[in-house]
Structure 1
Amino acid sequence: MNALRIAATMAAFIGLGVLAGAICEQVGRYRAARDFPPPGQMVDIGGRRIQLDCRGTGSPTVVFESGQGPDGSLAWSAVLPEVAAHTRACAYSRAGLMWSDPSGEPSTARQVAQDLHAALQRAGERGPYVMVGQSIGGPYVVTFTRYFGAEVAGLVLVDPSHPEQAARVVRYMTESRSLLSRIVLNLGWSGLVRLMAPVLLPQANHQSAHDVQAVRAFAPTSFRTELKEGDATEPTLAEAGAFRELGDRPLVVLTAMAPYTERELHGMKITSAQGREVQALWKEMHDEIAGWSTRGTHRLLPDAGHDIQFDDPGAVVRAVLSVVAQVRAGAPVRVSP
């Protein structure tokens, strides 16, 4: 009997703890919306809204696509203002990230491209565009070019994913998310992710305290989208890899070449020697991507890690402005109505 009472008491405490966590999470979501309003505007694309932050004036318009992560448009916070001082520039949050409403559609590169195109059109933005994508954002902007190529005048790919990266580095690859971490990140409703956000999301170089607090505030919902996108990586790369003809559009590919940190090596479960082999393969794949355009350029950044936009934002700004200058100096770009 005593054992049953103890079990019942423990179950009651656990239930109260879960309830308290869920209530705290709802309070946290209310405070996130109150304390961190979206920069730019919320654009209705047909029953749901996409957050779009456009600044500056001039043509071409630079459009930033973030990599896989929870920070949405804030991934470009160290770059966007500098580029916007020279031309029109827009960063946005994909469906389900930060302020943007989630989508009921499967996560595909084509869906991402269609969402972005709809948001730009309905916000009154017009090409020609210079598309900038980091990591998996690279394949996303290549796919955008595939479907809306008449509006794309140039590209900058920041340490981009390669369509065949999994096959080429397969012997070095491990599961990116453990089962435990996946369970934790899917418990956003419980308050657990919000509690762990400072550990899960450390402040990056050149990232303001305000921005990192905003990313943490929306992490419980953004992480679910990040997992969904991560699970769709293989078809995303396959879809993007079907289009490799960028014509004579100016293209700059930036490659992070800083040696992997001990933490990164531990996470990938490889040695420092194997890390150097992976980086050599990474450089080789980026050489190939630069060849997708007859005006492609490949630049190595020896002191930057994968998140180049935070480690060396100046390099990204210079690459973007160099493509903007080439577009301005070239023949007029015909843009579809």
Structure 2
Amino acid sequence: MKIIKWIKRLVMALFLIVVLLLIAGFIFEKIARAKAEKIQPDGQFAEVENHNMHYLEEGKGGPTVVFETAFDPAGHLQWYHIQKDLPKDYTTFSYDRSGILWSERGTNPKTGDKIAEELHTLLEKSKAPKPYILVGHSFGGMLTRFFVKKYPQDVAGVILVDSQYPADEKYLSPELHKMVNQGLPGGFLKFANTFGAARLMFKNMFPLEKQYKYQNSLMPVLLYKSADATLEEQDHMKSIKAEASSINSFGSIPLYIITAGDKKRYDSFITDKKIKAEMLDAWDKMQKDLLNLSTDSKQIIVPVGGHYINQDQPKVIEEAVNAMVKKVTDK
């Protein structure tokens, strides 16, 4: 009987500790968010369909290089270091999709069409010089399809950075397709975000190098702003991919495909050699298939680094951007 009594006391004590930790985390999160609201945004705002959207513009003159971020809560910060390093004799433009970082959520659904419409309106409101060169990473690369379809007259070139392939079921086995499309645990992350744990989990999202100090200082503090909208984009991922797969031609718009080619890039999270070999082979085939989007396309394979080429090998992207700007301005 004494043992049962002590077990009950232990369980109650543990329960009280968990409750106190949750209360402390909740209070900490509230205080941290109040402080974060005082942080001055690094860019500008424009009103898009009754909500404000945030963008960062560098340089002057055309064309405008427009960066579209991956499925990522960091928004425009994924391109911040690249924008700072690119020449200033043409315009570069990054932004936060609705609900991400400093952009208000608004009421538009998270569809590929609406995301493209919002970006186009934002570019018009900011008076970014035409034509546009679209640079999209991963999910952002897939989103460029909707923009090209709706506004082909405004697009002079496209650069896809290790872009998602919307019809990936063509190249992946059912087992692997399920694995790569399982997504983040939304319920758990919303819980963690409410009680202050998410900012600890996503600390140092960027490499621990000097050029990423600004991003690493902001992301844990501002993560709460992006969390819900990022998970909402995940909820709509399947329908966006289905719609994107039907957009299979950019015509003759110049296209660069930048592909991660490091054979070790999956080593940290795929231990099964057979599945890893299948993933490497399938990704290579999907990236080559992207070349068929345009009659004027070429592939740039990056031999070292992983999926986040914009962090691992930013100079490759900078060189491709400069080459595309020269290509479209020399016409």
- Measured at CA, do residues 270 and 225 of structure 1 come closer, stay the same or move farther in structure 2, by a change above 3 Å? farther
Aligned mates of 1:178, 1:220 — CA distance in 2: 22
Aligned mates of 1:293, 1:286 — CA distance in 2: 13
- Point out the more displaced range, 42-51 or 138-147: 42-51
Matched residue, 1:45: 48
- Measured at CA, do residues 205 and 284 of structure 1 come closer, stay the same or move farther in structure 2, by a change above 3 Å? farther
Matched residue, 1:267: 269
Gaps of 5+ in 2: none
- Measured at CA, do residues 225 and 203 of structure 1 come closer, stay the same or move farther in structure 2, by a change above 3 Å? farther
Aligned mates of 2:152, 2:239 — CA distance in 1: 21
Tell me whether 1:211 sits opposite 2:215 in the alignment: yes
| Equivalent residue for 1:140, pick from 116, 139, 143 | 143
Q: Counterpart of 2:73 in 1: which secondary structure?
A: coil
- Point out the more displaced range, 155-164 or 279-288: 279-288
Matched residue, 1:90: 93
- Measured at CA, do residues 287 and 7 of structure 1 come closer, stay the same or move farther in structure 2, by a change above 3 Å? closer
Q: Would the aligned equivalents of 1:45 and 1:118 in 2 still touch at CA under 8 Å?
A: yes
Tell me whether 1:24 sits opposite 2:28 in the alignment: yes
| Equivalent residue for 1:106, pick from 89, 106, 109 | 109
Counterparts of 1:162-177 in structure 2, within 5 Å, are 162-170=165-173, 171-175=175-179
Cα deviations across residues 210-237 of structure 1 (Å, max 9, x unaligned)? 2112112111332322222222222112
The alpha carbon displacement at 1:16 in A equals 4.7
Aligned-partner residue type, residue 327 of structure 2? Q
Q: Would the aligned equivalents of 2:61 and 2:129 in 1 still touch at CA under 8 Å?
A: no
Aligned mates of 1:58, 1:326 — CA distance in 2: 16
- Measured at CA, do residues 251 and 26 of structure 1 come closer, stay the same or move farther in structure 2, by a change above 3 Å? same
- Point out the more displaced range, 188-197 or 71-80: 188-197
Q: Would the aligned equivalents of 1:73 and 1:92 in 2 still touch at CA under 8 Å?
A: yes
Aligned-partner residue type, residue 43 of structure 1? A
The alpha carbon displacement at 1:164 in A equals 1.2
- Measured at CA, do residues 238 and 116 of structure 1 come closer, stay the same or move farther in structure 2, by a change above 3 Å? same
The alpha carbon displacement at 1:7 in A equals 8.3
Aligned mates of 2:250, 2:310 — CA distance in 1: 23
Aligned mates of 1:58, 1:274 — CA distance in 2: 47
Aligned-partner residue type, residue 92 of structure 1? Y
Q: How many corresponding residue pairs?
A: 324
Aligned mates of 1:30, 1:136 — CA distance in 2: 31
Aligned mates of 1:88, 1:179 — CA distance in 2: 34
- Measured at CA, do residues 238 and 84 of structure 1 come closer, stay the same or move farther in structure 2, by a change above 3 Å? farther
Matched residue, 1:197: 202
Aligned mates of 1:323, 1:136 — CA distance in 2: 21
The alpha carbon displacement at 1:104 in A equals 3.4
The alpha carbon displacement at 1:136 in A equals 0.6
- Measured at CA, do residues 206 and 64 of structure 1 come closer, stay the same or move farther in structure 2, by a change above 3 Å? farther
Q: Counterpart of 2:318 in 1: which secondary structure?
A: helix
- Measured at CA, do residues 315 and 195 of structure 1 come closer, stay the same or move farther in structure 2, by a change above 3 Å? closer
Matched residue, 1:333: none
